[in-house]
């Protein structure tokens, strides 16, 4: 059942129980690049807090808010992660990563970060009936939201028989992969340099990229979402053995903020 709580601005009146916003979590950190514009406090006050879920390995929680017919995922008392209004760049990520795989027999795709399921849905639209899409989502509560109130927004991709969802850090799957993927898709953060979760840094590091390279099948590709450009990351990809294409994608169809998708293919097959 949905909890419908009016959310106070963090510094006024903390809510009781697990929805309480402490002075510590209310302090909003500054990030190099962000996925969605920070929601002004006055607007937050008009949102309903639907649920909060704990983030494994972290002190804070993820919160699901609702305003009108739209939902917003935020770090409780802090940064916005994404919403159901602006998802054109997440769609583009799934399309770019899976384009050309429809004819590939038993194509395998790994997606790091379920979020609201838009990238997963876009990938499924590109793929054949015998494909498999493994999705790693580190926050089990996010998977529950996608099976519940968020399900319709991306067209219920978790119910697609080609989807295999796992509540796990994508880094663990990458380190243990033996069969190989035709596409690896990463959207676990705001980008290589705008980390909301410090442990994700490994994924974008030289070591992480070489593990990803090993996990790709011949002809495979890595696609990475970022809120903004990052020249150092492009150079790291190249140094790790990838040929890199940088694609500019918009937050809304044809308008809005410009985000970046790196499409990286092994330089030697």
Ligand X SMILES: C[S@@+](CC[C@H](N)C(=O)[O-])C[C@H]1O[C@@H](n2cnc3c(N)ncnc32)[C@H](O)[C@@H]1O
Which segment (13-21, 111-119, 125-133, 211-219) binds ligand X by CB under 6 A? 111-119
How far apart are CB 152 and ligand X at their closest, in Å? Answer: 14
Task: Quote the CA–CA distance of 182 and 18 in Å, as a whole number.
Answer: 41
Which segment (12-20, 22-30, 45-53, 106-114) binds ligand X by CB under 6 A? 106-114
Check binding of 90 to ligand X (CB under 6 A).
Answer: yes
Task: Write out the binding residues for ligand X, residues 232-261 only, by CB under 6 A.
Answer: none
How far apart are CB 53 and ligand X at their closest, in Å? Answer: 9
How far apart are CB 133 and ligand X at their closest, in Å? Answer: 12
Single out the residue of 38, 67, 156, 197 in contact with ligand X (rule: CB under 6 A).
197
Q: Two tokens at 194?
A: 């705008």
Check binding of 81 to ligand X (CB under 6 A).
Answer: yes
- Looking at the Cβ atoms of 101 and 114, the one nearer to ligand X is 114
Check binding of 184 to ligand X (CB under 6 A).
Answer: no
The answer to whether the CB of 61 falls within 8 A of the CB of 54 is yes
The answer to whether the CB of 154 falls within 8 A of the CB of 126 is no
Check binding of 177 to ligand X (CB under 6 A).
Answer: no
Which segment (37-45, 110-118, 216-224, 255-263) binds ligand X by CB under 6 A? 110-118
Task: Quote the CA–CA distance of 116 and 192 in Å, as a whole number.
Answer: 20
How far apart are CB 145 and ligand X at their closest, in Å? Answer: 9
Check binding of 142 to ligand X (CB under 6 A).
Answer: yes
Number of residues that bind ligand X (CB under 6 A): 23
Check binding of 174 to ligand X (CB under 6 A).
Answer: no
- Looking at the Cβ atoms of 148 and 219, the one nearer to ligand X is 148
Contacts to ligand X by CB under 6 A: 81-82, 90, 112-119, 136-139, 142, 169-171, 187-188, 197, 200
């Amino acid at each position: 059942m949905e909890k419908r709580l009016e959310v106070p601005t963090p510094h006024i009146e903390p809510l009781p129980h697990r929805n309480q916003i402490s002075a510590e979590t209310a302090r909003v950190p500054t990030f190099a690049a962000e996925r969605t514009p920070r929601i002004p406090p006055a607007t937050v006050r008009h949102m309903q807090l639907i649920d909060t879920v704990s983030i494994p390995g972290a002190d804070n929680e993820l919160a699901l808010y609702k305003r009108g017919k739209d939902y917003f995922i935020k770090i409780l008392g802090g940064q916005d992660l994404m919403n159901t209004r602006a998802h054109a760049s997440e769609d583009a990520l799934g399309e770019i990563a899976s384009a050309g795989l429809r004819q590939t027999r038993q194509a395998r795709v790994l997606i790091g970060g379920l979020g609201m399921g838009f990238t997963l849905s876009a990938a499924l639209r590109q793929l054949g009936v015998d494909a498999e899409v493994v999705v790693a989502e580190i926050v089990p509560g996010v998977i529950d939201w996608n099976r519940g109130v968020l399900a319709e927004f991306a067209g219920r991709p978790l119910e697609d028989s080609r989807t295999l969802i796992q509540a796990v850090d994508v880094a663990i799957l990458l380190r243990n992969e033996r069969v190989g993927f035709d596409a690896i898709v990463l959207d676990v953060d705001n980008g290589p340099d705008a980390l909301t979760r410090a442990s994700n840094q490994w994924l974008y590091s030289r070591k992480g990229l070489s593990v990803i390279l090993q996990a790709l099948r011949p002809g495979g590709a890595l696609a990475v979402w970022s809120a903004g450009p990052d020249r150092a990351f492009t150079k790291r990809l190249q140094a790790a053995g990838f040929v890199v294409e940088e694609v500019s994608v918009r937050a809304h169809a044809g308008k809005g903020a410009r985000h970046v998708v790196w499409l990286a293919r092994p330089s030697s097959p």
